[in-house]
Structure 1
Amino acid sequence: MLQQHQRGRRRCEGTAMGAIVLDLRPGLGIGPFTIGMPIYEAFVQIEQQPNIYDVVHVKYFDEDPLRLDIVISFPDHGFHLRFDPWSQRLRLIEVYDVKRIQMRYATSLIGGQTTLATFIAVYQLFGPTYPGTYDKDRGVYYLFYPGLSFAFPIPAQYAGCCNDGTAELPLEFPDGTTPVTCRVCIYDSALGKKVGVGSLMDKANVPSLPAGSLYMEEVHVKLGEELWFSVGGQRIPFGASSQDVWTELGRPCGIHQKQVDQMVIHSASDPRPRTTLCGDYFYNYFTRGLDILFDGQAHKIKKFVLHTNYPGHPDFNSYIKCNFIIHCSDFGGSIPDVSNGKHCITPSTKWEQVKEILGDCGRAAIQTQGSANNPFGSTFVYGYQNMAFEVMKNGYIATVTLFQL
């Protein structure tokens, strides 16, 4: 089902509905939100302006988070940010209530309570364009500009004005009135696609990443041996020193001491007392979706933790998604062709598929993320020879922990 989580704050004076003004950039974005930006960057912008974005809803499809967009919605201001569920990058900005927001284009304003976004006003502000299209089933006329579209509802009695699916521009009805836009879409214009409401929204794609971008870099896993980063070419083996990791991957985003391993109690051979902290410590690479655990005495790598960043997990938006590829067969030190994915595990692999590849590993340990009141519920941890999977209730992988025996 569709899940919605709300971030609410006490409203400050001056942030009433329709009060904000955002710059409109056709094909690029609106205000601080840019087409193609990762979802974590959008949250950074939201957190930096809490007086403006004081009510925020996050919507996603809980049962299958890769099926529908992840949506950040601003109900007070009448617009959505739609993120591609796989790459978690912004593909479409949808203004669904033009009366709640004013948009600035060049030096002119449009929308809000005071400046109606009529067809005539839009046409005068953005200039002539090709005739749009009329959806007779929805009763909506679409007007397109590069990376920008406007939807205008057409009353049934004036449907004849849109002959053969088009209309004379600018569009005016016989009684001298002109329609007012009900929806504005902003999207990447590179592919030249026309994006509107309904199924037309699916045509909005995220722009290509710049060459050399580390975002969603493939991280290849050779079980029990190393990680290999496809863009930078770094190889980080188990047993590498903290200095080696710093040299290869750069300064970590954070360093923190490891809490006692709650799972060690299941090992009858471990005689150590249970303490609050142990000497081991993590390097956190939040922008790579990766944690690296070092032995507190030897300062050598003991574990890697890879994060998928799915909504519905308590760590959502703490890490960027790690685009890992776990190779589950011996490939002699080289990186194999993964196009068929038959023996590979990725963030998109569901738990039932993992079991088909690796076999059944028995019952799971229950993980509650440290609180019985966790609103997302518990997760399940399954262990194999060189790795452990944390699995969400919908069957998707939340984290993979890699280690050596």
Structure 2
Amino acid sequence: MLQRPARRCEGTAMGAIVLDLRPGLGVGPFTLGMPICEAFAQIEQQPKIYDVVHVKYYDEEPLKLDIVISFPDHGFHLRFDPWSQRLRLIEIFDIKRLQMRYATSLIGGPSTLATFVAVYALFGPTYPGTYDKDRGVYTLFYPGLSFAFPIPSQYSDCCHDGEAELPLEFPDGTTPVTCRVSIYDSSAGKKVGVGSLMDKASAPPLPTGSIYMEEVHAKLGEELFFTVGGQHIPFGASPQDVWSELGRPCGIHQKQVDQMVIHSASDPRPRTTLCADYFYNYFTRGLDILFDGQTHKVKKFVLHTNYPGHADFNSYIKCNFVILVGGSFPDVNNYKNRITPSTKWEQVKEILGDCGRAAIQTQGSTSNPFGSTFVYGYQNAAFEVMKNGYIATVTLFQS
């Protein structure tokens, strides 16, 4: 697991913060289903509050485990589905560090213990929860919200057949204190708690017509097709064509230097030659479109996977591309092979064949702590591959 460096030392926060609790929806500025880039935007807007932030992920297999944004000083973290990169679960793991406001009442923090009795009084009656005997944890469920309580072994008999009398009090008159709070989407009637129950949390469904994670079909050497809106962008399209199909770009910038031109036998210009080509950046689609500076026609598409561990992580939303190989466009069902952001490099080679040695791309060693990537070129595509074998970007062009 890798982490971003903390912005300051942990454990020096000035008291607990107060965040509004919205069962089934979120806490504070963090809403279930939000893309990870929106969460980072909220963090950047409040640097004095969220000034110690850890980003954790499984570097070797980034699709295997959640991407986690953790706030150790405030006792909670955000779990993002590794494929869609949308927030699926919020967990408060240290209730003494985070005070929550529900309606007009406060719970948690150093001054308001989140005891079983206090939780039951604030949120009202509910069905009996579940007792995990192996973990010694009793979980109480409300729609989109659960509270986990540790049960001392000497009081395990209070939970008969996995349930308990509510509100739960021990024979000595004490009541357990929450050790974990989970906030999750309850639209499917799920109950999410600790252990394996945590895996049941999923991001809420996307709104109808949302372009987030829309499939973008690419036929090598021909065009891109956007499946939600039905837009076609072929090579050779003009800026006006692209603007009318995809709308205003998020940014426009001139390509400074074409560093790969030295590898082209048909173009012997020095690699320091300034390039008049320019990009339309569609960060919210995970896409860059390069125009020829002389003809003003589309010459390249750059598709971004937004994997953590790459220098461009969080600069683009993930592009859910499908590169179609060996069929007839536009009938996507006729294609024998597909390359997606989940396709590893070894699988790409099985589909397209071996292309030989890679060019090494450093992205500037001082600004990129993740090391170099490797660029492999084919007739109509170049794949930038991370050290873990996953695709970082795909550049499509016409040979």
Report the TM-score when normalising by structure 1.
Answer: 0.96
Equivalent residue, structure 1, for 2:5: 6
CA distance in 1, matches of 2:396, 2:126: 56
Shift in CA distance, 292/359, structure 1 to aligned 2, threshold 3 Å: same
Equivalent residue, structure 1, for 2:349: 355
What's the CA shift string for 1:146-169, capped at 9, x where partnerless? 000000000111011111111000
CA contact (8 A) 1:279 1:297 kept: yes
Equivalent residue, structure 2, for 1:345: 339
Is 1:226 the counterpart of 2:214? The answer is no
1:313-332 equivalences in 2 (<5 Å): 313-331=310-328
Equivalent residue, structure 1, for 2:117: 120
Percent identity of equivalent pairs: 83
Shift of 1:222: 1.1
Shift of 1:85: 0.3
Is 1:168 the counterpart of 2:162? The answer is no
CA distance in 2, matches of 1:349, 1:274: 32
Equivalent residue, structure 2, for 1:53: 50
- Counterpart selection for 1:370 from 344, 364, 367: 364
Give secondary structure in 2 for the equivalent of 1:5.
coil
- Counterpart selection for 2:180 from 174, 183, 191: 183
CA contact (8 A) 1:17 1:77 kept: no
What's the CA shift string for 1:227-259, capped at 9, x where partnerless? 000001000000000111111101100111102
Give secondary structure in 2 for the equivalent of 1:109.
strand
Give secondary structure in 2 for the equivalent of 1:99.
coil
- Counterpart selection for 1:308 from 296, 305, 309: 305
Report the TM-score when normalising by structure 2.
Answer: 0.97
CA contact (8 A) 1:257 1:277 kept: no
Amino acid aligned to 1:25: R
CA contact (8 A) 2:107 2:113 kept: yes
Shift in CA distance, 104/209, structure 1 to aligned 2, threshold 3 Å: same
CA distance in 1, matches of 2:5, 2:333: 42
CA distance in 2, matches of 1:4, 1:198: 23
Equivalent residue, structure 1, for 2:279: 282
1:2-401 equivalences in 2 (<5 Å): 2-9=1-8, 16=13, 18-275=15-272, 277-331=274-328, 333-337=329-333, 342-371=336-365, 374-401=368-395
- Return 5+ residue gaps in structure 2 as ranges: none
Shift of 1:267: 2.5
Shift of 1:193: 1.1
Shift of 1:372: 5.8
- Return 5+ residue gaps in structure 1 as ranges: none
Give secondary structure in 2 for the equivalent of 1:55.
coil
What's the CA shift string for 1:174-211, capped at 9, x where partnerless? 00000000000000000111111111110001111010
Number of residue equivalences: 398
CA contact (8 A) 2:261 2:268 kept: no
CA contact (8 A) 2:326 2:336 kept: no
CA distance in 2, matches of 1:160, 1:361: 65
Amino acid aligned to 1:195: V
Shift of 1:306: 0.1
Give secondary structure in 2 for the equivalent of 1:394.
coil
Give secondary structure in 2 for the equivalent of 1:219.
strand
CA contact (8 A) 1:18 1:76 kept: no
- Across the aligned residues of Structure 1 and Structure 2, the Cα RMSD in angstroms comes to 1.4
